[in-house]
Structure 1
Amino acid sequence: MKRLFQIYIDSYKGLSQAAWLLALVMLINRTGSMVIPFLGIYMSSELDFSKPQVGMVLGCFGLGSVCGSYIGGWLTDKFGSFIVQASSLVMTIPLFLIAPNFRTFESLAVMIFILTLTADIFRPANSVSVARYAKPENLTRAYSLNRMAVNLGFSIGPALGGFLAGFSYNWIFYGNALAAGCAAIVFFYFFRNRKARTELPLKPAKEKIITGKDRNAYRDLPFIVFNIFCCLFAMAFFQLLSTLPLFYKDVYGMSPSQIGLILGFSGFVIVVFEMLLIHSLEDRFSIRQVMIFGTAVSGISYYMLNLQFGIPWLYLSMFILCIGEMLVLPYMATISAKRATPNTQGAYMGFNSLAFAASNILSPYLGTYAADHFGYPVLWLITGTVLMGTSFGFAWILKKL
């Protein structure tokens, strides 16, 4: 136990103060992660939407995420990561506050699109900030710290959201607005005058520094293929946020508070184990080996859902899914950051965010459609198989990267 604790301490050594502060901002923001985990349940239980309607609204969430990721990457390269992050946090506050007033299928779909677009402008800008404040040798651990903050917030947010939903689903929107406001204040206070380690001065386009090695992220063929596999991974993996909560409610009859606890458990597992895992593996295995194994492990976790051994089995499946997540997601950001040059970090991180965002357009609709027409067992079989196939895809393309 003493050795394990020492490894845990060592895994945080060398990380800059700015990396910790970015993680703090992310923790506060993601503690308000109450809307997305319960959006499907809110629409089916509170608004009486059909499963296809739920899937289409969640698809609008994905479309907004795609647009936000693309625009966020472009804005970051043009105006800098600070302005983009601060603007996104501030603008989401009123949107969360008015969202409960949109209760028809059409109006809620438009509202979710606008809300997600505004919120996800933050993502590529934040990824660029991590890359520019971190030491190059600590880049993966800096992203892991940031993800640890996300997941710590996610372990608190759904549990709190499940509690608030017991009173009124409106409160999950208000809670998200409060968290965004607090994150905006903390971010502005700590970063308004802070200089990044590798920040390039913003200049007119004609004065832009050219390294001779700049690539266009959207013409970089190996990186494009890599992002296609990232998208497939995300389409399968993020059933976690669309159909999996519905599965818990429909098949196991779990209440919002119970669903919030199991989703919060996933965040807790990642907080406890991710930095230990990354620190233990980074010098022993290649990124390619880790990502292949992690993707396959994620597939196994979804296959497990077709074996009904009660609530403890669901927690075990979630634990294994978390192991897969910890072995894949941090390295995707690392690959994207290292593939870019200083002039193109926003575009590369935005493109990688775009791959995840694009998955959320079709994934919720296809998942809810499969569950509604063929049943959850078929859905989990397809999901696990897609992840297994994606692990072979990573094995091929990562050789070229």
Structure 2
Amino acid sequence: MLKTYLTNFKGFSREIWILTFITFLNRAGTMVIPFLSKYMKDDLSFSYTQIGTIMVFFGTGSIIGSWLSGKLSDKIGFYKVMVFSLFMSGIVFIVLQYLTSFESLCIGILILTSIADMYRPAMLLALDTYGNKETRTRALTLTRIAINMGFLIGPILGGLIIMKVGYSGLFWVDGITCILAILIFSIYVKEKKLPFKLKKIKSITNPNKVIFNDKPFLLHLLITMITGILFFQMFTTLPLYHKEQFNFTEFQTGLLLSLSGLFIILFELPIVRYVEEKNIDRIKVISLGILSMSISLLLMLLSSWSGILIVMIAFMSIGVMLTFPFANAFAMSRVHMDLKGRYIAVFTMSYSFAHILSAKTSMGIIEAYSYQANWIFMGTLGCIALALCYCLSLMLKAEKTDIELKIKQSFFSQKEAV
């Protein structure tokens, strides 16, 4: 079994492994993110509405960062974007601890995520550049394992740091690990340049038109955004719910969140490999994942038993493993060669919008009604995403049929001309 499991890790280039390592280092260092809502509630005494508003700035900055990353990656290359993003976000993380008023934190969070979220689209382009077609989905999954290994270690260490040092310690660790990660990257991975500059035969005059005319891609973005809304409950409402419903400490919350990381480390790559080998329909896999995520949040209605939190984490982890890797792969499969950066930027922006809507909507529902109303709303939203997956499946079948018909028509027209 171990030998079979280890075969999943073969075939990656040296650069992919280094990218994976710095992604792990960066993710393990961003300990403050899972505890951000608790930090604002406990240390800064912000209201639910204020927390929701700050999370809107969090998501808005993410949108700006993703858009800038796509545009700059197409112009100056992903390498420079990654170096700038990690180094500067490290500096901003350290400064953020000194911003304690509502207004200053809104601005600080906006600046932080605008810079930090330039990393992800550039990193996806790096995987595409340093990898190959055969290992692309597995390379994406490998970096996700790195993220989840960081997710496994980070919250536990974060909870311990809060208990021993306080929240200020998190900001210092976050900042230092970002800077350390980019130093390792710049030393061991060199910018990959073409030996000569390719001359484009025809330039795209309206890049946005190409992207926004791709209807399956746009529908996929909507599904991805809803998936993100469900997933981000882990970082926005759940840490608060753990405290208020079960009186959990930061360390206990960290352990629970780390359990999700452990599940994903153990099972995601074998699942991805199995789906690829059996050539299982990706949209069906994503649909199953969304169903699992919806069930996980609806399980939170059983609030009288703390053990339900472990069951919830298990279902959410299954959902994440079945949605995120294949959502990334689907987006990459739709990419136009001359617009890679912008396509990936638009895709990652769907998660940014999800962060805004997840936090603001949930905090509003909780303050106006209850946590239970929020779980019902999220479960219903998941059902809507399932219906959209079915529509996407029909759209892709129609697209395939149309392409086959055009090929046949082209073939017969050429034959008649001869």
TM-score (norm 1): 0.93
Matched letter for residue 170 of structure 1: S
Q: Does 2:61 correspond to 1:67?
A: no
2:225–2:353: 8 Å Cα contact kept in structure 1? yes
* Aligned-residue offset at 1:74: 0.8
Give the letter aligned to residue 125 of structure 1.
A
Q: CA deviation at 1:123?
A: 0.9
SS in 1 for 2:350: helix
Q: Distance in 1 between matches of 2:171 and 2:255?
A: 18
One-letter identity of the residue aligned with 1:340: V
Shift, 1:220, TM fit: 2.1
Residue 353 of structure 1 corresponds to 348
Q: What letter matches 1:103 in structure 2?
A: T
Give 2:323's match in structure 1, choosing from 322, 328, 336: 328
Report how far residue 34 of structure 1 moved: 1.0
Tell me how far 1:342 sits from its aligned partner: 2.7
Q: CA 1:200 to 1:367, structure 2 compared with 1: closer, same or farther past 3 Å? A: farther
Counterpart of 2:281 (choices 286, 291, 307) is 286
* Displacement of 1:309: 5.3
DSSP-derived class of the 1:336 partner:
helix
In structure 1, distance between residues paired with 2:237 and 2:301: 14
Task: Tell me which amino acid in the other structure corresponds to 1:79.
Answer: I
Question: C-alpha offsets along residues 267-318 of structure 1, whole Å, 9 cap, x if unaligned?
Answer: 1211111111111222222111111111111101111111135333211210
SS at match of 2:295: helix
The farther-off stretch of 227-236 and 63-72 is: 227-236
Q: How does 1:137-286 map to 2 (within 5 A)?
A: 137-166=134-163, 167-193=165-191, 195=192, 207-208=199-200, 210=202, 216-284=210-278, 285-286=280-281
Quick check: which has more Rg, 1 or 2? 2
- The C-alpha deviation readout for 1:204-237, integer Å capped at 9, x for no partner, is xxx546599x872233222112111211221122
Q: Quick check: 1:21–1:190 contact (8 Å CA) kept in 2?
A: yes
Report if the CA contact (8 A) 2:55-2:360 is conserved.
Answer: yes
Q: Cα gap change, 1:351/1:268 in structure 2, threshold over 3 Å: closer, same or farther?
A: same
Q: Distance in 2 between matches of 1:275 and 1:124?
A: 21
Conserved in 1, the CA contact under 8 Å of 2:242 and 2:248? yes
CA contact under 8 A between 1:209 and 1:343: conserved in structure 2?
no
Structure 1 pair 164/200, CA: closer, same or farther in 2 (3 Å)?
A: farther
The one-letter amino acid of 1:291's match is: I
Q: CA deviation at 1:362?
A: 2.3
How far the C-alpha of 1:192 sits from its partner, in A, is 2.3
Query: Are the counterparts in 1 of residues 230 and 293 from structure 2 also a CA contact under 8 Å?
Result: no
Deviations, residues 172-198 of structure 1 (Å, cap 9, x unaligned): 1111101101111111012224x37xx
> Does the C-alpha gap of structure 1 residues 398 and 186 become closer, same or farther in structure 2, counting only changes over 3 Å?
farther
**Residue pair 1:57, 1:112 contacting (<8 A) in 2 also:** yes
Match of 2:312 in 1: 317
Q: Distance in 2 between matches of 1:121 and 1:150?
A: 16
Letter in 2 for 1:157: G
Determine if the alignment matches structure 1 residue 57 to structure 2 residue 54. yes
Corresponding pairs, count? 392
What is the match of residue 374 of structure 1?
369
1:106 to 96, 103, 127: 103
**Which one-letter code corresponds to 1:386 in the other structure?**
L
For the Cα contact (< 8 Å) 1:29–1:179, is it kept in 2? yes
The CA distance in 2 between the partners of 1:398 and 1:164, in whole Å, is 46
Residues 152 and 267 of structure 1 are in contact (CA less than 8 Å); yes or no, is this contact kept in structure 2?
A: yes
Moved more, 228-237 or 352-361: 228-237
Residues 298 and 324 in structure 1, CA contact (< 8 A), matched pair in contact too: yes
Matching residue of 1:48: 45
- Displacement of 1:266 in angstroms is 1.2
CA contact (8 A) 1:58 1:360 kept: yes
8 Å CA contact 1:226–1:398 kept in 2: the answer is no
Deviates more, 1:218-227 or 1:253-262: 218-227
- Runs (4+) off by over 6 Å: 199-203
Task: State, as a whole percentage, how many aligned pairs show the same letter.
Answer: 30
Asked whether the equivalents of residues 43 and 49 of structure 1 are also in contact (C-alpha less than 8 Å), the reply is: yes
Indicate which of 2, 12, 17 corresponds to 1:20: 17
CA contact (8 A) 2:260 2:314 kept: yes
CA distance in 2, matches of 1:233, 1:320: 14
- Cα 1:201–1:100 change in 2 (3 A) is farther
Unpaired runs of 5+ residues, structure 1, are none
Q: 2:211 is paired with a residue of what secondary structure?
A: coil
CA distance in 2, matches of 1:115, 1:303: 33
Give the TM-score normalised by structure 2: 0.90
Structure 1 contact 59–363 (Cα < 8 Å) conserved: no
Residue 125 (structure 1) aligned with residue 122 (structure 2)? yes
